């Protein structure tokens, strides 16, 4: 994930406008980069958790049932190529965001 250079530019302009020292400007830029990295990491982890929740942990209702349960939710069982298709669609949706 790449940083937002527009925000970096605005931070530099604001620091120059406020007559802040170069060291303080660098400190603000480093702090912003760190916070942005942490936010992007948390967002990526949250997306991965959603995809894992959709794909894994489902138990069949019965031995030959078409349905599966997970904590009070019921859905039709994904068989054959369907889990692969769901994973690929989830990956595409994640890339689009």
More confident call, 15 vs 50: 15
Summarised one tens digit per residue, pLDDT across range 13-40 is: 999 999 999 999 999 999 999 999 999 8
Query: Tell me, what's the pLDDT at 1?
Result: 59
pTM over 0.85, yes/no: no
pLDDT at position 46 over 80: yes
| Domain ranges for the chain | 1-46, 57-97
Read off the DSSP letter of residue 77.
-
- Residue predicted with more confidence, 59 or 24: 24
Give the model's pLDDT for residue 97: 67
């Amino acid at each position: 994930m790449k940083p937002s250079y527009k925000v970096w530019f605005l931070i530099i302009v604001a620091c120059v406008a406020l007559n802040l020292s170069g060291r303080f400007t660098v400190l603000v830029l480093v702090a912003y980069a760190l916070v942005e990295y942490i936010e992007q990491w948390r967002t990526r982890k949250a997306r991965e958790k959603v995809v894992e929740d959709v794909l894994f942990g489902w138990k069949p209702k019965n031995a030959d049932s078409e349905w599966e349960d997970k904590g009070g939710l019921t859905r039709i069982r994904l068989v054959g190529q369907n889990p692969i298709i769901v994973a690929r669609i989830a990956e595409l949706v994640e890339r689009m965001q």
